[in-house]
Amino acid sequence: MTYDTVVVGGGVSGLTSALILARHGRRVAVVEKAAKPASLIGGFERGGIYFDSAFHYAGGLGNGDILDLFFHYLGIDRLLRKVPLDQNKFDIFRDSASGWEFSFPCGIAALQEALCEAVPHEARGIQSYFVCLAAAFRQLPYLNPGTPEVTWNPVEAVHGPSLAEVLRRFIRDPRLGHLLSLHTLLHGVSPQEIPFSIHAGVVLPFYRSPCRIAGGGRALAAAFSAQIQAAGISLIQGRSAEKLVLSASGHLQGLKLADGESLACRECVVSIHPRRFLALAPQGALRPAYRNRLMGLEDTSSGYILFLHGLAPPPILAGSNLYLGFSGQGMAEALSSLERRPLFVAGGAFHADSAQTGHGWSVICPASWLEMEGEWASAGFPRSDSYRAAKEEVSGRIFQRLAHEAPEIVQGARLIEAATPLTLRNHCGGPRGGIYGVRQAVGQYNPQPATRIPNVYLCGQATAAPGVLGAMVSAFLTCGHILGDDRLRREIMA
């Protein structure tokens, strides 16, 4: 049998692409090396306790907002229950030194008002900043499917300005600049490097309508799986893609799997990290300049993650997430010492029926893969003693910080598991353990959907934008390239 399209990688971007293309009558197969699709967002269990691993909350999930439209278009909305976060405080920032707190309310107008109340002498700057943010957002494709005249040129984002440059134009008070940069943790790139337009694309949907999903990432993964099955898409799971098969004239003929079987296909959408895509391409199929460009792509920051368990979840996490950090401190400065880094405490998918087993929640601390460089060569298990000792030491230090800066997060809680940049390299698939994938940075040209091999396309891995929303935008961009952007946009709006 010949497939019209084979999608390599069954994460959010790969599954979204598969659903869009199947909806347009293509015969589609998804090849996923993990035992289950959407394994990254699907969370994990330890001793019967469920932990979210790579999906805690998303923006743009309010009725009719962008992620809600995407879910509806794919038919997964009816399989999910959205849980809006606390309207008055969806995210809480707490200054680690003084204990001062700022609560982010939902909605742009409410947030502007809260910021003006907290820093009244910056009221004009706040207003101008938000006008700029909305204008940048309006230019982004697929985040505004109802605006056909969007003429986004990705090169413009690469040329800047950065978030830090725009903040400097309008904001004087470093405490306010820090609050407006806090959510750079949601894309893993510093305010000095992130293009302002990309930052707008990430934070605006969060400011507007942040939600969790009942059942967490596991429920989202299950909804995708069910819809893939309903759409008649062949799911080839637990098997790895190894090589694209090309004819002598360089045209795609199929995909060879690591176990030797080949799938014949006319088109391939590759949703694995662009550097790993290089290994799929046969020798000589890509020009050296293109290979070098993909090899040179830098990833978003990596991280340490603590997974905590307690019989009752901390009340502060019921409708909110907690950000800890040092008010006014820049990101570059913060990364130098573990004790100064921002920490993100994510509430979990807390269920009333978990009263017996208790609940799991997690704490994410940004890190560089270089901190684990000594262990980088050791891909396998069991891990070395030195790695285990380093992991224990880092987890202990973060736990101590929490005991001091947010005791309610660790009181009565046990540390069940920890992850390092090495863990993230294995689970997220980026060669350097980046949390989101390829970074969006001023000066970095990320690959476009079309590759140098005819009918082979890239998507996902934050090449277009980070997070679950970014993975879906990337899938729409790639499928728009294949099917026609106007047509897809009209369908989403319909």
- Supply the minimum distance, in Å, between the C-beta of residue 275 and ligand FAD: 11
Q: Which of 19, 26, 33, 473 binds ligand FAD (CB under 6 A)?
A: 33
- The helix (H) or strand (E) run that includes residue 475 is helix 467-483
Interface mask toward ligand FAD for 131-170; x: CB under 6 A: ----------------------------------------
Are 463 and 474 within 8 A, CB to CB? Answer: yes
Between 166 and 286, CB nearer to ligand FAD: 286
Two structure tokens written together for 175: 């405490």
Between 176 and 428, CB nearer to ligand FAD: 428
316 three-class SS? helix
End-to-end CA distance of the chain: 34
- Supply the minimum distance, in Å, between the C-beta of residue 346 and ligand FAD: 7
Give the closest residue to 83 by CA, choosing from 309, 308, 413, 321.
321
Between 34 and 413, CB nearer to ligand FAD: 34
209 three-class SS? coil
- Supply the minimum distance, in Å, between the C-beta of residue 172 and ligand FAD: 32
- Supply the minimum distance, in Å, between the C-beta of residue 47 and ligand FAD: 20
Query: Which are the contacts of 62, defined by CB distance < 8 A and separation ≥ 6?
Result: 68, 84, 208, 209, 211
Give the Cβ contact number of residue 403 at 10 Å. 12
Are 305 and 362 within 8 A, CB to CB? Answer: yes
- Residue at token pair 């999930």: 61
Q: Which of 3, 7, 10, 422 binds ligand FAD (CB under 6 A)?
A: 10
347 interacts with ligand FAD by CB under 6 A: no
21 interacts with ligand FAD by CB under 6 A: no
Between 175 and 256, CB nearer to ligand FAD: 256
Between 176 and 364, CB nearer to ligand FAD: 364
Between 325 and 366, CB nearer to ligand FAD: 366
Per-residue b or e along 334-360, where b marks 16 or more CB atoms closer than 10 Å to that residue's CB: bbeebeebbbbbbbbbbeeebeeebbb
Q: Which of 29, 157, 189, 241 binds ligand FAD (CB under 6 A)?
A: 241
- Supply the minimum distance, in Å, between the C-beta of residue 77 and ligand FAD: 16
Q: Which of residues 284-323 bind ligand FAD (CB under 6 A)?
A: 305
Are 3 and 17 within 8 A, CB to CB? Answer: no
Mark the segment that binds ligand FAD (CB under 6 A) among 33-41, 148-156, 165-173, 260-268: 33-41
Are 348 and 362 within 8 A, CB to CB? Answer: yes
177 interacts with ligand FAD by CB under 6 A: no
Between 137 and 436, CB nearer to ligand FAD: 436
Between 12 and 406, CB nearer to ligand FAD: 12
What interhelical angle do 123-138 and 174-181 show, nearest 10?
30
Two structure tokens written together for 76: 């997964």
- Supply the minimum distance, in Å, between the C-beta of residue 174 and ligand FAD: 27
Two structure tokens written together for 273: 């990290």
204 interacts with ligand FAD by CB under 6 A: no
Between 170 and 307, CB nearer to ligand FAD: 307
Q: Which of 29, 34, 213, 219 binds ligand FAD (CB under 6 A)?
A: 34
195 interacts with ligand FAD by CB under 6 A: no
Q: Which of residues 364-383 bind ligand FAD (CB under 6 A)?
A: 364
Two structure tokens written together for 289: 């300049």
Give the closest residue to 260 by CA, choosing from 241, 279, 246, 274.
241
Q: Which of residues 405-464 bind ligand FAD (CB under 6 A)?
A: 424, 428-429, 435-437, 460-462
Are 203 and 57 within 8 A, CB to CB? Answer: no
Between 157 and 364, CB nearer to ligand FAD: 364
467 interacts with ligand FAD by CB under 6 A: yes
Per-residue b or e along 184-201, where b marks 16 or more CB atoms closer than 10 Å to that residue's CB: bbbbbbbbbbbbbbbbbb
Q: What is the spatial distance between Cα 454 and Cα 220, in angstroms, rounded to a whole number? A: 33
Give the closest residue to 160 by CA, choosing from 128, 127, 200.
200
Mark the segment that binds ligand FAD (CB under 6 A) among 53-61, 79-87, 107-115, 445-453: 53-61
Closest-approach residue to ligand FAD (CB): 11
11 interacts with ligand FAD by CB under 6 A: yes
- Supply the minimum distance, in Å, between the C-beta of residue 160 and ligand FAD: 23
- Residue at token pair 């350097």: 432
Q: What is the spatial distance between Cα 437 and Cα 460, in angstroms, rounded to a whole number? A: 8
Mark the segment that binds ligand FAD (CB under 6 A) among 120-128, 226-234, 400-408, 466-474: 466-474
- Supply the minimum distance, in Å, between the C-beta of residue 167 and ligand FAD: 23
Pairing of strands 28-32, 234-237: parallel
Q: What is the spatial distance between Cα 104 and Cα 149, in angstroms, rounded to a whole number? A: 32
Binding interface with ligand FAD (CB under 6 A): 8-14, 31-34, 39-41, 54-58, 240-241, 271-272, 276, 305, 364, 424, 428-429, 435-437, 460-462, 466-469, 471
